[in-house]
Amino acid sequence: MNDGPHVDLQTGRAHGARIYDYILGGKDNYAVDRAAAEATLQIWPALPVHMRANREFMHRAGRYLATECGIDQFLDVGTGIPTSPNLHEVVQEVRPESRVVYTDNDPIVLVHARALMSSTEQGRTAYVDADLRAPDTILDSPEFRETLDPNRPIGLMLIAIAHFIEDDEEALTATRRIVDVLPSGSYLAATIATDDFAPETLAGVRRTYREHGETLRFRTKAQAARFFEGLDLVDPGLVQMHKWRPDTTPQANDADIAMYAAVARKP
Percent of the chain's residues with pLDDT above 90: 76
Give the per-residue pLDDT at 3. 44
Query: Domain segments of the chain: what residues?
Result: 16-265
Give the per-residue pLDDT at 8. 62
CA 27 to chain centroid, in Å, comes to 19
Among 47-56, 107-116, 163-172, 224-233, the least confident range: 107-116
Task: Report pLDDT digits (tens) over 139-164.
Answer: 999 999 999 999 999 999 999 999 99
228 versus 13: the higher-pLDDT residue is 228
Task: Report pLDDT digits (tens) over 231-240.
Answer: 999 999 999 9
First to last CA, the chain: 39
Percent of the chain's residues with pLDDT above 70: 96
Exposure string over 169-202, b if 16+ CB within 10 A, otherwise e: eebbebbbebbeebeeebbbbbbbbbbbbbeebb
Give the per-residue pLDDT at 112. 75
DSSP secondary structure of 204-246: HHHHHHHHTT-------HHHHHGGGTTSEEPTT-SEEGGGSS-
pLDDT band at residue 180 using 50, 70 and 90 as cut-offs: very high
Give the per-residue pLDDT at 250. 78
pLDDT of 127 above 70: yes
pLDDT band at residue 72 using 50, 70 and 90 as cut-offs: very high
Top-level class of domain 16-265? alpha beta
Give the per-residue pLDDT at 110. 82
Mean pLDDT of all residues in 240-245: 97
Prior bond of 85 cis (ω within 30°):
yes
pTM of the entire structure?
Answer: 0.91
Mean pLDDT of all residues in 16-27: 85
